[in-house]
Amino acid sequence: MTAAAASPAASGPGRSLVPRIAAAGLAGGGVDFAYASLLALSAGKSLAGPWRGVASGWIGPAAKDGVGPVVLGLVTHFAIAACMGAVYVLVARRIPVVVRRPLATGAIYGLFLYAAMYLVVLPLRWPQVFPKWDGGKSALDVAAHILVGLAIAWVASRDDRAINPKPAAATGV
């Protein structure tokens, strides 16, 4: 038996965090991918448009041409979603109620994600445009972010022992 195989990290609950974070990121990123893609298509725009927009944060106007920027935008999108999944999973390890109440905490997390995107990230990228409220479109954006939070929470809480192996009674929550 190797030292790595004998260590608690190699066989304990922490080992399941990376796949769980990846799955949570894919779930949340998938919901947001569908939302952004449907918005583009319903506006008569290219399916590649949202992902070129994401890539433009890295490469500016060069994102307008070719397949490379679309791939860069998608990779960036899902990397950000993986970070969002990681935050939820890591918080759930410390606060057991987060994983025991995925509907409530996922919806609340989605609201936090919306606030972070529309009050911090987008204003940093486009300060002349954000923050703003655009009626039904903004309400739809909020709903989409709540769905992202719910998708992350659902995946993260499927087997709560893998995230938080301590029983609720032992944690005092």
What one-character-per-residue DSSP string does 123-161 give? HHH-TTT-S---HHHHHHHHHHHHHHHHHHHHHHTTTHH
Supply the pLDDT for residue 15: 58
Spatial CB neighbours of 129, under 8 Å, sequence gap ≥ 6 = 122
Tokens standing for 22?
């990846």
Residues 71, 14: contact at Cβ < 8 Å?
no
CB 17: neighbour CB atoms within 10 A? 16
Chain centre to alpha carbon of residue 119: 16
pLDDT in tens, the chain (173 residues): 444 444 344 444 555 789 999 999 999 999 999 999 999 999 999 999 999 999 999 999 999 999 999 999 999 999 999 999 999 999 998 998 998 899 999 999 999 999 999 999 889 888 888 888 999 999 999 999 999 999 999 999 886 655 665 544 444 54
